[in-house]
Structure 1
Amino acid sequence: MSTIYLITGANRGLGRALVEAYLRRPDNTVVAAVRDATDDTAKALRDLPKAPSSSLIVVKIDMSSETDATRAMEELQSAHSITVIDTVIANAGIAKVFPKVEDAQTSDLLEHFHVNVIGNIILFRAVLPLLRKSQKVGKFVTMASMAGAIAEMEKANVPNAVYGTSKAALNYVTKKIHLENEDIIAFPIHPGWVQTEMGNSSARSFGLESAPNTVEESVSGLMNVIEDSSRESTSGKFMSFDGATIAW
């Protein structure tokens, strides 16, 4: 039986790499959620190599939209006869500015919270009925960041008042999902500081040439942790791609 994954932010960076990796495995149906399905990067997903028994579906989910996620679930059921999702990887997010608290602009805070936090709450509401129908235990995994770890703040005291606060809030939301839904697995996972366009851009903001972790090592680690996750060992914890547990 095919395992069904939904991955947001699927047309670039880490999301695209995850889509590609899951498609290479047999018996997977990958639902690639993208902000603009007409964009060339979204169309290019259809050319990714696939295992003979795996397939790809592209849907539109703009994380700033209040209706896209619900419409995408309706489309999956009506157009593709998909009534179950086994794993959601909520990867989509933005990281545009890195100010001190005193320099943080209201417009930047609202934009980051809308996409990184509220967008994932809207997504969760839409996918929960399908996760609950999984013959396995449905998994809702949010893409976290060490930037949102309050316990780690003194180790890396850098300006991050906008992105970091949004990621800390997403950690809270994901932990709440775990506590409020005993029939699913929910946890945030730190993918590393990855050499994607967004990761390298943020690295340059802090004076580095590039982010330290390769896409390949991040994806491999993420997939292993997600595959091995359980309600008892993983759900409700702040995980790292290398399998370690991170302090909140």
Structure 2
Amino acid sequence: MTRLGARVRGRIWDIVHETSIQNYEEHFSINVIGLIVLFQAFRELLKASSLPRFLAISSGGGSIKMIEDAPMPTSSYGMSKAALNWIVRKIHYENDWLVAYPQCPGPVDTDMAQESAAADKTGMTREVFKKFTLRKPDDAANVLVDIITASTREADGGQFHNIEGGRYTW
């Protein structure tokens, strides 16, 4: 984990009126600005590829629709993932040679997931986790590789994917 990522850890579960502007800035910097820097740095290498793919790891928390479906207290994290989704969709439409889309890996059994569930005072995270099997990181990675490998611009580009093969509502 990067030093910047470590600073944000434990502050994913928050509500708007209690969240510092610094927390919003940190999440936005990591999830949006970091992604833009990555795309700009690798764009020419992607253009040279015979199968160019630019995938961003997102979250159901980045779906504006999910606010009503699962109103978890994720204001800074959700806001930054929604912006990440927007910028990846914009990249898709600006680069007609590229397969680009945001992908949600679903619940993955990481230290961040466990710490976040413990930090969520509402208990909603634990309730959401009960509805899913948390994948081990290696299992999630293998599923993601298969999904990415099979993706096409026509079928997948610019869409907000979930790991089960469906699409999230923006």
User: Residue 203 of structure 1: CA displacement?
Assistant: 2.1
Q: 1:113 matched to which residue of 2?
A: 28
- Change in 2 beyond 3 A, CA 1:138/1:148: same
- Change in 2 beyond 3 A, CA 1:63/1:143: farther
Q: Distance in 2 between matches of 1:118 and 1:63?
A: 13
- Change in 2 beyond 3 A, CA 1:95/1:183: farther
Secondary structure, in 3 states, of the residue corresponding to 2:73? coil
**Aligned-partner residue type, residue 119 of structure 1:** G
Between Structure 1 and Structure 2, the one with more strand by share is 1
Q: Is the CA contact 1:144–1:190 (under 8 Å) kept in the aligned structure 2?
A: yes
User: Residue 162 of structure 1: CA displacement?
Assistant: 0.7
Q: Distance in 2 between matches of 1:152 and 1:114?
A: 22
1:126 aligns with 2:48: no
**Aligned-partner residue type, residue 142 of structure 1:** A
Structure scoring higher RCO (CA < 8 A, sep ≥ 6) equals: 2
Equivalent position to 2:113, from 173, 190, 199: 199
Q: Distance in 1 between matches of 2:135 and 2:102?
A: 20
Q: 1:213 matched to which residue of 2?
A: 134
Q: Distance in 2 between matches of 1:188 and 1:103?
A: 28
User: Residue 63 of structure 1: CA displacement?
Assistant: 7.5
Q: 2:87 matched to which residue of 1?
A: 173
TM-score by length of 2: 0.85
Equivalent position to 1:161, from 61, 72, 75: 75
Q: Distance in 2 between matches of 1:217 and 1:131?
A: 26
User: Residue 238 of structure 1: CA displacement?
Assistant: 0.4
5+ residue gaps, structure 1: 1-8, 10-34, 36-61, 65-93
Secondary structure, in 3 states, of the residue corresponding to 1:213? coil
5+ residue gaps, structure 2: none
Q: Is the CA contact 2:54–2:99 (under 8 Å) kept in the aligned structure 1?
A: yes
1:144 aligns with 2:66: no
Q: What are the equivalent positions in structure 2 for 1:41-120 lying under 5 Å apart?
A: 96-97=10-11, 98-120=13-35
**CA RMSD, Structure 1 to Structure 2 (Å):** 2.1
1:245 aligns with 2:167: yes
Identity of aligned residues (%): 35
Count how many residue pairs are aligned between Structure 1 and Structure 2: 159
User: Residue 157 of structure 1: CA displacement?
Assistant: 0.8
Q: If you compute each CA radius of gyration, which structure gives the higher value, 1 or 2?
A: 1
Between Structure 1 and Structure 2, the one with more helix by share is 2
Q: 1:75 matched to which residue of 2?
A: none
TM-score by length of 1: 0.60
Q: Distance in 2 between matches of 1:138 and 1:117?
A: 20
